[in-house]
Chains A and B, each alone.
Chain A
Amino acid sequence: MQNKYTDWKQALRSGLLGGIIVVVLSLIGIVAAFENTYVVNQLVSFGEILILGPVAALSLSAIRKATSRQAGFLILTAAISGLASGLVILALAGVGQVINLRAMFLNASEELYAIYAYKQALVPGLLLRLLACIVIGALTAGFTLLPDRIKSALGQGLLYVVFIGLMGRLLTMMLSNWGFVAVLFKWIFTANSLSLVGAIVVFLLTGGLAYWRHGRPKVKRSLEPRKQKVIRWSMLGGVGLILIFLPNILGLWFSEILDNVGLFILMGLGLNIVVGFAGLLDLGYVAFYAIGAYTIGVLTSPELGFFNWTFWQAFPVALLMAFFAGVLLGLPILKMRGDYLAIVTLGFGEIIRILVLSDWLKPWLGGTQGIQRIQRPVIGFGGYARTLESQQELYYLILVGIVIVAFIAIRLRDSRLGRTWMALREDEDVAVAMGINHVTTKLTAFAMGALFSGIGGTLFAAKIGSIYPSSFQFLVSINILSLIIVGGMGSIPGVFVGALALIGLPELLREFAEYRYLFYGAALVAMMLIKPEGLWPEARHRIELHEEETPPPEEEAATATENA
């Protein structure tokens, strides 16, 4: 490629691509949606970052591909790339003035052009935008010319400012309960975001920290095993204590989100066994979730009136149902591999949903109207009985469920069975040749996964009290799959990280919620391309990958600026 195109053409190409990315983001509506989500109050909005971010990122790529390392040349290249991006953005605004793009693209509105033009009159505003694109390109080039230490400090500082700025509203909401801290932070946070002072403080702190840490060897404290154990257990105890008081600290709204995250962690732990440990890509995972929830519904709901059991009577039956459904689905598809398995499980999930929706089974499953008035779980005996109804009370039920399931998952991973799963995942033929019975091994993986998903389903039914077929769409399977992959396939802490990032964040940042699945899709592709081992990879996986390659230090700074 380099021989064919001169560097200028390369820069133009990068710039055009950057511009096209911005235009696509704008037309999807993300730019306008984040117009008023400020990172730094009234100064820098996240929408603005979404415009200038891709421009900067593609300028960076133009610089990387440049053949000469001269400072002036690099700055010029990057500026050209920025100019090209800016021209594409201008072209959209220009075309929008002549033709009514709105008839086709919903988001090609006057507001978008106003954002492009910095809310100024169109012509001078757009010229300003062009200038901004060129400047940001040149700045990117300047950035790459800095010494590594300053580069990483700047990158980290910017990244943290953006992140904390986005989280600003949540932090203030959380902190508002704690009087004295709230006062302390008043001058860092405005109502929604960082204040200018706050941004500078955060930037200096995090950037300074990165500057100080850069180049220092990581201090490895080797404590004796007993002390390590004490530290580990006390940390676990601390986390446990925090988790117990979390709903009271955070209040009702956060508890609801915590419940959702918890349910997805539960199911993620189950799917992690199937996909992460055993390497069987199951896209119909929602089916077991539905089976668990519907069993509880059918058995306890007085509306249908078949059984009128209590929650705890129905609970073991629901788990058994999910377990056997796992075995039943597992049986026929044992011989399949990879992609076929994915499609068949997907089909299975759809079959379950179609059956639930159908008029045929309506007398038993309620059809489109679903099942209402599902019994809530009751805890305690006699006079001390207590129905768990509020989200804060159910939180504890889910927490107990997660602890049990996580414990089982960890023990399974380290058991003989867990190792056979992983052997099967790495190479089925070799594993079978080594004497592993692939029938029982795969079946147990499927059944355990189904069981965990069933637990998730029962708790979901208990949580919302009424279930509808629309809660069991294919999208749920994709949700769970995404969180596993983002967290790291086969990694148990990864499930927690993934669930917090993919389920928690979009719930917290309402603007994101709209673009949730767009983001999931992009995350799946990006993770596979850039970091296939996930955010918190399994220890063994991490070692394997680090043997092969150690990422060069520039890479980190590059991703930092791309994100900023």
Chain B
Amino acid sequence: MIFGMAIFIGSFKINITANGAEYPFHFGKLGVLDFPYIWHNVTYVVGFMKYILAILIVIFITNEFSFRTVRQNVIDGMSRTEYINSKLISTLLFGIASTVFVFLITLILGFVRSNGTASDVIFMRSSFLVGYFIELMSILTFAFFIGLLIKRAGFAIIAVMVYAFVIEPLIGYKIPEPYDAFLPISSSREIIDIPFKRYTQGLVDMEFNETPSVLYSAISLGYIALWSGLSHWLFAKRDL
């Protein structure tokens, strides 16, 4: 699906009329899918998929409650920490798998569009993959914790979505910049800056970050630790 989207965008061509003159605007020629910029562009776009993956993680956790297998596993002799760790590791593997998938897709897209580029150029900006991974894990661990907290799939999914799209933005209005981006969801979003600013740099004057942000990555790592720790703490003393 992403593949198709990318091909579609790559061949898109529109005519922009500005100041009375016509400027043919060919996306493909912009080099959206060229190495090394492709890493930035693709990881930005697939960032929107993270909500779907987060829902999967919620289901992953809440299933254990609806099947009551969480109870049986603890009865059988799994300690509380062992249990949470095993689930967190599965989530981590899930995140890694997704990142590898993005890596492969991006490589393929890049080769399809580019014409023979040197291998050091190909991998030059691939640090964006790491940024993607951190962004993904940040929301996955958040979804993990909410799933653990609420235990029912439907409510937990709604909770995650409402928080991400309604509550956090509302809190964000109350907090002065730039601290509003220190909130859980927002901080992970800021790791990878909007890549298209590169292409508007001539037209509009905006700040633009050419590499994944170290600051927001660090903050996101902090949140990952927070949600993981909270999950352990929550689970330790609960009745099942």
Are A and B interaction partners? no
A residues lining the B interface (CB < 8 Å): none
